[in-house]
């Protein structure tokens, strides 16, 4: 049995397959830590959702990750999740980081490697003790049994020395064979483990599981940028450039923005784990605009971190044409936040509380099949069913600007305050996604 397990672990490597030892249980229960998983090479273009893939760990350079592909982000990167985990992995994976698709599971054979990761000296001691016991088991070999003391054969006659079988020493062919086989298999197992990498996951190939007894919670995303990319942003501007007019889009769509007017760079921003800064807009000319025009978007989300104080406020984000705005979020002079869209007149929703307290807040405005929804931080959303996907918005996507009067957003076309991680989506973000984006920055 052991020889068979070793064979299945080693033989596929001769054809370019990749053996790994599973070191964690993020995809229990179908595979446990210590199993060997063999992955076959696959072209990145041939990957499909639902496959279990072996990739370079994006969060721990030099390590591997073995998780299931659950979807492909808008920028082409892969979103993975451990079957036993509640949420997707916080860091998307490039297709070029894929080593293969898991295709063969060999149980138990990697247990020594799993143990050696934590109890190396104990494992070595147990291995030496096993070899010693095998040796002691064959150290003493008894001679053949002596003749019967009565000097008679079993039939009662005197033994005939001419036909007596020669006295022989009991051979140890059986025990020696066992010893040699045990030693060979021990060495072979060590060779298997030496040649196999380790992967921080486990994978059932046909079933998924939940973790109902797990009451420990963690952020779905570790960084604001990962949150926006992970949920399919069409564009995402961190707004942390030190100079120049380019506002870099961190998605693969390359919808870069352009700074204009009064913009102060490198101010302290939200999202402490991103290591990025923000910009402050002067309220009279500062703005960021995309060079790409959006047209007829029935499912829309606008997202931005902002910090405001006083009674100026102004538009946070908008989709505008040359003279009119079709959709916008704005801080009112009272400090509340409004989401408005031009749809058979103007439809809008406004928060009941104020946010002009000189602190960072996340605003997410959504138009979708369920109507309008406005999310501020992790507060309960403000919603309306008066607008559905029949409404649409088109024009240039901007941060810090809108034709305010067009949507009844007050008298200021420019926002006075700080902004960061401005993003747009061609989909309707959910309440749970908006909350996950907020926690990524806190």
Q: How far apart are CA 195 and CA 404, in angstroms?
A: 65
Report pLDDT for 101: 94
Pair 302, 429: CB distance under 8 Å: no
Q: Report CA dihedral (51, 52, 55, 59) to the nearest 10 degrees.
A: 110
The token pair that represents 422 in the structure block? 């401005």
Query: Is the dihedral angle over the CA atoms 18, 21, 27, 28 positive or is it negative?
Result: positive
Rounded Cα distance, 72 and 97, in Å:
14
Query: Are β-strands 18-22 and 197-199 bridged in parallel, bridged antiparallel, or unpaired?
Result: parallel
Structural domains of the chain sorted by starting position, each given as residue range(s) with its CATH number in brackets: 1-140+184-210 (2.10.109.10), 224-440 (2.60.120.200)
Cis peptide before 96 (omega within 30 of 0): no
Alpha-carbon distance 96 to 102, whole Å? 16
- In the three-class reduction of DSSP (H, G, I as helix; E, B as strand; rest coil), residue 222 is classed as coil
CB count in 10 Å sphere of residue 171:
9
Buried b (16+ CB within 10 A) or exposed e, 67-92: bbbeebbbbebbbbbbbbbeebbbbb
pTM: 0.55
For residue 101, give every residue at least 6 positions away whose Cβ sits within 8 Å of its Cβ, in sequence order, or none. 39, 40, 42, 47, 51, 52, 53, 54
Which pLDDT value is given to residue 203? Answer: 43
Round the CA-based radius of gyration of the chain to a whole number and report it.
34
Q: Is 176 helix (H, G, I), strand (E, B) or coil?
A: helix
Using CA atoms, how far apart are residues 436 and 430, in angstroms rounded to an integer?
10
CA quadruple 398, 404, 410, 416: dihedral, nearest 10: 30
Q: Which residues of the chain have pLDDT under 50?
A: 148-152, 161-173, 202-204, 206
Burial 285-297 (b: 16+ CB within 10 A, else e): ebbbbbebebeeb
Q: pLDDT tens across 289-344, in order?
A: 997 777 778 889 999 999 999 999 999 999 998 899 999 999 999 999 999 998 87
What pLDDT does 6 receive? 66
How many distinct helices (H) and strands (E) make up the chain? 5, 23
Residue 172 tokens read as 């140890």
pLDDT tens string 374-433: 999 999 999 998 876 567 888 999 999 999 998 999 899 999 999 999 999 999 999 999
Per the CB < 8 A criterion, the answer to whether 229 and 236 are in contact is yes
């Amino acid at each position: 049995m052991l020889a068979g397990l070793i064979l299945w672990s080693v033989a596929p490597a001769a054809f370019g397959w990749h053996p790994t030892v599973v070191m964690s249980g993020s995809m229990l229960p179908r595979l446990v830590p210590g199993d060997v998983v063999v992955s076959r090479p696959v072209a990145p273009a041939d990957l499909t959702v639902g496959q279990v893939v072996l990739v370079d760990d994006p969060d721990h350079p030099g390590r591997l990750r073995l998780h299931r592909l659950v979807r492909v982000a808008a920028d082409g990167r892969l979103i993975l999740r451990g079957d036993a985990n509640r949420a997707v992995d916080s860091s998307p994976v490039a297709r070029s980081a894929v080593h293969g698709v898991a295709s063969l599971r060999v149980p138990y054979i990697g247990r020594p490697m799993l143990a050696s990761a934590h109890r190396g000296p104990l494992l070595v001691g147990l291995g030496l003790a096993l070899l010693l016991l095998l040796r002691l088991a064959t150290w003493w070999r008894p001679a053949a049994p002596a003749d019967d003391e009565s000097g008679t054969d079993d039939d009662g006659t005197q033994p005939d020395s001419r036909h007596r079988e020669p006295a022989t020493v009991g051979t140890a062919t059986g025990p020696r064979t066992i010893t040699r086989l045990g030693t060979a298999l021990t060495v072979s197992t060590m060779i298997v483990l030496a040649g196999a990498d380790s992967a921080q996951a486990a994978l059932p190939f046909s079933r998924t599981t939940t973790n109902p007894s797990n009451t420990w919670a963690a952020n779905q995303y570790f960084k604001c940028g990962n949150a926006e990319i992970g949920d399919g942003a069409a564009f995402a501007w961190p707004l942390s450039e030190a100079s120049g007019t380019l506002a870099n889009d961190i998605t693969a769509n390359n919808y870069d923005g352009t700074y204009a007017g009064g913009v102060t760079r490198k101010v302290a921003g939200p999202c402490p784990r991103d290591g990025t800064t923000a910009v402050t807009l002067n309220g009279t000319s500062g703005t960021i605009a995309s060079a790409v025009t959006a047209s007829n978007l029935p499912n829309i989300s606008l997202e931005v971190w902002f910090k405001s104080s006083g009674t100026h406020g102004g538009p946070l984000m908008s989709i505008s044409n040359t003279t009119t705005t079709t959709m916008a979020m704005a801080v009112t002079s009272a400090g509340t936040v409004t989401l408005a869209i031009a749809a058979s007149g103007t439809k809008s929703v406004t928060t009941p509380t104020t946010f002009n307290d000189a602190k960072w807040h996340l605003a997410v405005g959504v138009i979708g099949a369920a109507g309008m929804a406005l999310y501020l931080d992790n507060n309960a959303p403000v919603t309306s069913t008066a607008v559905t996907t029949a409404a649409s918005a088109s024009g240039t996507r901007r941060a810090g600007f809108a034709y305010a009067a067009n949507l009844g957003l007050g008298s200021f076309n420019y926002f006075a305050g700080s902004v960061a991680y401005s993003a747009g989506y061609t989909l309707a973000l959910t309440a749970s996604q908006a909350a996950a984006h907020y926690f990524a920055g806190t």
